[in-house]
Amino acid sequence: MSNTANWIALLPQHIQDEVTATFKIKHFSDGEHIYRKGESGAGAGQYQILSGTVRLRVIADNGKEATYVIYGEGDCIGFLSAIDNDVRPQDVIAIGEVKVGKILSKDFEQLTEKYPIIYKTLCEHVAYRIREVFNMYEYGLFFNLERRLANQILFLLAFSATNVPNSACQELEFTQEMLASSVGATRQAINKLLKDWSDAGFIEYHYGKIRILDSKPLVKISGVDKMITSQVAVKAIAS
């Protein structure tokens, strides 16, 4: 199965067209919630990101925040609650200006009645993502912080809206706090690694922005042969 968070793209083209024709377009500004953890999923619908990026995060009882993953253009979110009508499992927050297409629950139900393959496709997609959750568990259990951070930056590089393919220099807009919460580390530890990599000459870091001057050292640190494979475990958990 394709390494993607876009289940709609797995459908035959004519069904894709019918799904996207139901979209209700919505816009969100930086920091706005698309939905919140614990909100009822019954009748709440699901989304495809049409432009911009969002982050999925949870907040512990002690106030500590964790960013699961960043999703970008084409990715789908909210489909778990569309399947089981259970509560939203995490917050989804806009990073910058975001445009989404919302599939209303009634439209989704009509589409699945007309095309049973939609549920089959979603089941296969969810099964694929569950397998990758196990990969993510292994990733967090055995990788040291440097390797986790390299993988996370490669993930962001692969899916960032500001990433320009084949560019010699690529830029990410991401704070140290967000990086730290996404890999389970302190801001101070992230700052030290970024400084080490900056001193080595393959990144530049200024507040809220990382410029990747050479991604090859990051790939080597991450321990993977292909950049995209480093993203599978990280991206799989969220929906």
CA distance 134 to 156: 21
All structural domains of the chain, each given as residue ranges with its CATH number in brackets, are 7-138 (2.60.120.10), 144-231 (1.10.10.10)
Percentage of the chain exceeding pLDDT 70: 85
Least confident residue range of 93-97, 170-174, 196-200: 170-174
pLDDT band, very low/low/confident/very high, at 136 (cuts 50, 70, 90): low
pLDDT of residue 78: 94
pLDDT band, very low/low/confident/very high, at 111 (cuts 50, 70, 90): very high
- How do residues 211-235 score in pLDDT, each as one tens digit? 899 989 999 998 865 444 434 333 4
Calculate mean pLDDT across residues 101-120: 96
- How do residues 171-194 score in pLDDT, each as one tens digit? 777 788 888 887 888 889 999 999
SS3 4: coil
